[in-house]
Structure 1
Amino acid sequence: MPPVASSAAASAAPGEGLPPGASYGRALALLATLFFMWGFITVINNTLLPHLRAVFDLNYTQTTLIESVWFIAYFVASIPSAKLIEKIGYKMAMVTGLLIMAAGALGMMVAASIPSYGVTLVMLFVIASGITLLQVAANPYVAVVGPAETASSRLTLVQALNSAGTMLAPLFGAYLILGRSKSGTASATTVLTPAERLADAHSVILPYGLVAAVLVVLAVVIARYPLPAMGSATSRMAAEERKHHSLWSHRNLVFGIPAIFIYLIAEIGVANLFVNFVSQGDIANLTHEQAGRYLTFLWGGMMVGRFAGGAIMQRVRAETVLALAAVGAFVVMMITVFTHGPVAMWALISVGLFHSIMFPTIFTLGIKGLGPLTEEASGLLIMAIAGGALVVVQGKLADAFGLQTSFLLTAACELYIIFYALWGAKTKATD
């Protein structure tokens, strides 16, 4: 998942929260665990979806609806999260977010015990709402826990740990969910009996119980840890000055909002349908458990790509790197659609490397030159993460035309990113 930078972070003055000479290491390490956890829990869905598809005998539309509900929570919960933070503060908001996530994980255990597709959707929405609150609350802290001059390196570090969480989650899911279920260890064509479906549903109980326990422990640790108080906002602009500026006169933002929205469709569609795709007989003919392990390479490529992209963009313009990445992603997606066997599988895996720099680069280009409107622009770009909810469109395409053909939607998304990099990201005003 892309690491979301809260617009509130722009209002925090780096280094304000701690006294001079204070040690920042422990506080930063604690905050990094939050980034790791929400990346980890989000990507568990990639192995959970093929599992639920088998347990409830879902079509691709119903399967991708699960992830759509997850991303709808980003849209629904973001504004209430900001209002809650105003009332209870950032530290208690982080604790609350973790407890909401834990409640959702416990609810997943209930949904698995029944089992119920509807209850599963509700509980995943609860978990995603908790993650939304956690992201809005945690990001500003990274900016204040340490000297101002190293704020960017701290943000890069926690984003890398977010990627580490997304890389390790498929192994956890493959072992504890797919590896302990009949549908996960059998061939893709195996038809389960009702008793086997019920047993498979119960395999979710242990992993989500472990997740709930970890989240509760983290909530207790953060509640008791003396995190620094947030400093006063330093980047707020007077209302009168804002009246002389318009968000919609900036082409890079106007086209950047749909760029984030469309990119999320591509990223989430690839990740969520990966296991089902490579399990097919004419692709890699793997069990779901085996396919889940290969998913680690997809997310690992994103982590490697972020480090490499960060270094490259110190010497090459961000727009150029973004355009090249989008072209590369388009090429490998076309290979995925029109080839078979290991070639198609590795082409789909390689798209993670090209996707790696897209979210942070689009986000940065989208707010470039916004000046006093940067906070509002950031908020709109964050809301655009809800684009991941439209992965259900790819589910419908998969049902109608076949799973492999549905990845043409991903290729089309890459074309828009190319357009944005070459023209839409220019900072010349639209008026």
Structure 2
Amino acid sequence: MPAPINAAPAVGTQSGRQAGGYGPALSLLASLFFMWGFITVINNTLLPHLRSVFELSYTQTTLIESVWFIAYFVASIPSAKLIERIGYQKSLVIGLLIMAAGSLGMMLAASIPSYGVTLAMLFVIASGITLLQVAANPYVAVVGKPETASSRLNLVQAMNSAGTMLAPAFGAYLILGRSKGGTAESGVVLTHAERLADAQSVILPYGLVAVVLIVLAIVIARFPLPAIGSATSRVSREERKKHSLWKHRNLVFGVPAIFIYLIAEIGVANLFVNFVSQPDIANLTHEQAGKYLTFLWGGMMVGRFVGSALMQRIRAETVLAGCSIGAFVVMLVTVFAHGEVAMWSLILVGLFHSIMFPTIFTLGIRGLGPLTEEGSGLLIMAIAGGALVVVQGWLADQYGLQLSFLLTALCEVYVLFYALWGAKPTNALPDQHAA
């Protein structure tokens, strides 16, 4: 279980308690949400590129993304302990610098080229993102009224979606568009020399990403971030013994809800380009398919803005249930339809997936009181569920890519169960606010 995040002494002034007092900090945090969304989704164009360069099966291709999400499980506890030791702001800077180091390492992997080094560098980048996630998500959730936490986190997560929407165009142009494999028709076999040349197309985009991350780290280091108060401080050892995380049903079922939802989201995103490129779907090149991926992530951004507004008036559980039903329906269409109907139904699932992660997260920590931070750590660790996308890769190899999306449809069923029953809090403790 990750240690709680301790910050500097709480902000004690009345102005610090006002929502507006956190506006600049939330805006800056939104830029972090943007960057980790952007970098994560570059993988969606990187994977078909690497599949071509290294001649990988679907199982080997999705293993790359599994390594990425294993980092969430491995790095979550060390991240929380680091934040406790050196503070919130310094940890954000270190997280950004770790991501920058991994991006520079990707340039090395492309120069060799090496499948093993690529896996290692993606793990490094994901570890940096984990550090940011462990801190930023609970921070946004506790700054403000508990009843609007889902709305607030959805709003900030919309910036994450803005990054995910722009990343496919960036990757399609600078990676797929500058490679032979990315612009060739489906089924074309590349020569060894062409595959080596294609590997070099990764160098420029990751170099640009590294520069941006370093600049952002400098900005964060110099910015006067407000400290987080009693809402995220560890309760005393004796008081902690009086409470148990496992008595809170919304958390107990929320951890697998995050885990299972990530299988669905990552499976759709990572196999999208390969799916719509198939002759019986849209018959596109990988470069063209990468541009359509923008619509998938754009739908997630729009959905989060809409969801944030809806949750001001409608219970978060109700909105989550409606989205899970919609996602289940469009995934069935994706599995059993053909041509552009199947492509657009897969794109549409982004709209329904949009509010799922932030809403499950805030429902999961609801009523945890002084245990909020430890519960948040468990929910962040559950992001490791994205590693099981390799299961969908195996299903695609064994039964066909289209049928493999039945796994996604099953994931939506669990989210519906969570919205209708699992998210109801038990043994709720008094909510606490950032000071």
TM-score, normalised to structure 1's length?
Answer: 0.90
Report the residue type matching 2:85 in the other structure: K
Matched residues in 2 for 1:148 and 1:312: separation? 16
Specify which of 193, 196, 199 is matched with residue 198 of structure 1. 196
**What pairs up with 1:28-427 in 2 under 5 angstroms?**
28-139=26-137, 155-223=153-221, 225-228=222-225, 230-234=227-231, 236-427=234-425
Kept after mapping to 2: 8 A contact 1:18/1:228: no
Matched residues in 2 for 1:125 and 1:327: separation? 34
Matched residues in 1 for 2:14 and 2:223: separation? 11
Kept after mapping to 1: 8 A contact 2:134/2:380: no
Kept after mapping to 2: 8 A contact 1:14/1:148: no
Kept after mapping to 2: 8 A contact 1:337/1:407: yes
Matched residues in 2 for 1:315 and 1:141: separation? 23
Residues 1:349 and 1:59: Cα distance change in structure 2 (over 3 Å): same
Q: Deviations over 1:192-248 (max 9, x none)?
A: 11111011111111111111111122222333x242352543554343343333322
Kept after mapping to 2: 8 A contact 1:259/1:362: yes
Kept after mapping to 1: 8 A contact 2:8/2:227: no
Q: Which moved more, 1:31-40 or 1:201-210?
A: 31-40
Partner-residue secondary structure (3-state), 1:180: coil
Matched residues in 2 for 1:276 and 1:117: separation? 20
Deviation at 1:97, TM superposition (A): 1.3
Kept after mapping to 2: 8 A contact 1:15/1:145: no
Residues 1:307 and 1:372: Cα distance change in structure 2 (over 3 Å): same
Matched residues in 1 for 2:365 and 2:9: separation? 17
Q: Which moved more, 1:209-218 or 1:289-298?
A: 209-218
Q: Deviations over 1:365-408 (max 9, x none)?
A: 22233334333222211211110111000011011111111101
Matched residues in 2 for 1:366 and 1:410: separation? 22
Q: Deviations over 1:50-77 (max 9, x none)?
A: 0000110000010000111001111111
Matched residues in 2 for 1:361 and 1:46: separation? 24
Residues 1:20 and 1:414: Cα distance change in structure 2 (over 3 Å): closer
Residues 1:314 and 1:28: Cα distance change in structure 2 (over 3 Å): closer
Deviation at 1:26, TM superposition (A): 5.4
Deviation at 1:17, TM superposition (A): 11
Residues 1:239 and 1:330: Cα distance change in structure 2 (over 3 Å): same
Report the residue type matching 1:405 in the other structure: L
Residues 1:349 and 1:17: Cα distance change in structure 2 (over 3 Å): farther
Kept after mapping to 2: 8 A contact 1:105/1:209: yes
Q: Deviations over 1:302-327 (max 9, x none)?
A: 11111111222233222222222111
Q: Gaps spanning 5+ residues in structure 2: where?
A: 429-435
Kept after mapping to 2: 8 A contact 1:106/1:208: yes
Partner-residue secondary structure (3-state), 1:203: helix
Kept after mapping to 1: 8 A contact 2:102/2:121: yes
Deviation at 1:330, TM superposition (A): 0.8
Report the residue type matching 1:212 in the other structure: A
Matched residues in 1 for 2:348 and 2:9: separation? 37
Partner-residue secondary structure (3-state), 2:186: coil
Residues 1:123 and 1:337: Cα distance change in structure 2 (over 3 Å): same
Matched residues in 1 for 2:211 and 2:26: separation? 22
Kept after mapping to 2: 8 A contact 1:14/1:143: no
Matched residues in 2 for 1:360 and 1:261: separation? 13
Residues 1:39 and 1:9: Cα distance change in structure 2 (over 3 Å): farther
Deviation at 1:267, TM superposition (A): 0.3
Residues 1:140 and 1:44: Cα distance change in structure 2 (over 3 Å): same
Identity across the alignment (%): 78
Partner-residue secondary structure (3-state), 2:122: helix
Matched residues in 2 for 1:32 and 1:155: separation? 10
Matched residues in 2 for 1:156 and 1:338: separation? 32
Residues 1:9 and 1:302: Cα distance change in structure 2 (over 3 Å): farther
Residues 1:18 and 1:58: Cα distance change in structure 2 (over 3 Å): farther
Deviation at 1:262, TM superposition (A): 0.3
Partner-residue secondary structure (3-state), 2:402: helix
Matched residues in 1 for 2:247 and 2:148: separation? 33
RMSD, aligned CA: 3.0
Partner-residue secondary structure (3-state), 2:312: coil
Report the residue type matching 2:294 in the other structure: T
Partner-residue secondary structure (3-state), 1:426: coil
Q: Gaps spanning 5+ residues in structure 1: where?
A: 1-5
Q: Which moved more, 1:195-204 or 1:131-140?
A: 131-140
Residues 1:52 and 1:85: Cα distance change in structure 2 (over 3 Å): same
Q: Which moved more, 1:212-221 or 1:391-400?
A: 212-221
Report the residue type matching 2:298 in the other structure: G
Deviation at 1:254, TM superposition (A): 1.8
Kept after mapping to 2: 8 A contact 1:14/1:147: no
